Amino acid sequence: MELDELKKSWNALDQHLQKDRLVDEDKLSELISTYKSNAGKSIRRLAGWQRLSVSIGIAAILIVVALWCILPRFISGNLKDESCILCLFFAVTIILGIFWDLKTYQWVRDTKVDEMPIVQVALRMNKFRSWMKYEVIAISVWAVLFTSLYYYLVGLYHKPLLFQVIIISLLLLVDVCIIYLVYKKLIYSHLDTIKKNIEELEGLHIAEAPDDNFRA
């Protein structure tokens, strides 16, 4: 009699443990699905921004080409030469930027959270983050080059020193604001969200592994 009661108690305990384990597995699966969904949304938004950047670059190069063709008809002398130099500067740098944005867009677009191992997604996003650092450096160099070119072509060096300082400061301030808004508020905010969700996923997979070994 005592053996039967002990057996019933053991079966009841085993059923309770199995039920708790199923609940834990459901919660774990739900968390994994949530983190993957959040990371996927941020990756798609990044891809959208990169695609928009390519579109803006194409529109900008068309405008530069149009100005290159139209402006010489209405201006002459030094102003004509200065406008041609500026158009050439913008054309070359925009074309380089378009090719770079195409590369980064394809990289982000091909990063599939649902199809790739978490480690691979993390490595791809880390590489993209390092590319964004290079991009910020490149844009900063572009801003310095443009400011220097503008300073020379417009002849700011003939103006009073205070006027030169004000104009250069305004140009650099605009560049800094654009870099901050585009990269800090848009791109890096999504990268931080992706990084956080990937870290959570890695933690869940680590927590899941011992349980799989136990069942095996």
pLDDT of residue 177: 83
> Higher pLDDT residue, 6 or 56?
56
- Express each pLDDT in 37-50 by its tens digit: 777 888 888 888 88
Q: Which residue has the higher pLDDT, 2 or 130?
A: 130
pLDDT tens for 144-194 read: 888 888 778 777 777 788 887 888 888 888 878 877 777 776 777 777 777
DSSP state letters, 121-180:
HHHHHHHHHHHHHHHHHHHHHHHHHHHHHHHHHTTGGGS-HHHHHHHHHHHHHHHHHHHI
In 3-state terms the chain splits into helix, strand, coil percentages (rounded to 5) of 90, 0, 10
At 3 the three-state DSSP class reads: helix
Buried b (16+ CB within 10 A) or exposed e, 120-132: ebbebbeebeeeb
pLDDT of 56 higher than 50: yes
Domain boundaries, the chain: 2-215
Rounded to the nearest 5°, which phi and psi values hold at 74? Answer: -115, -10
- The answer to whether the beta carbons of residues 156 and 150 sit under 8 Å apart is yes
Q: Which residues contact 98 (CB under 8 A, 6 or more apart)?
A: 54, 57, 58, 61
Per-residue pLDDT, 103: 92
Listed residue (199, 201, 196) closest to 28, CA to CA:
201
In terms of pLDDT, which residue wins out, 16 or 34? Answer: 34
Torsion angle, alpha carbons of 139, 141, 144, 145, to 10: -100
pLDDT of residue 207 exceeding 60, the answer is no
Q: Is the pTM of this model over 0.85?
A: no
Q: Is the pLDDT of residue 20 over 70?
A: no
Q: Which pLDDT does position 3 carry in this prediction?
A: 43
pLDDT of residue 5: 46
pLDDT of 215 over the 60 cut: no
CA 80 to chain centroid:
39
More confident residue, 75 or 105: 105
Q: What mean pLDDT value characterizes the chain?
A: 76
Q: Name which residue leads in pLDDT, 77 or 108.
A: 108
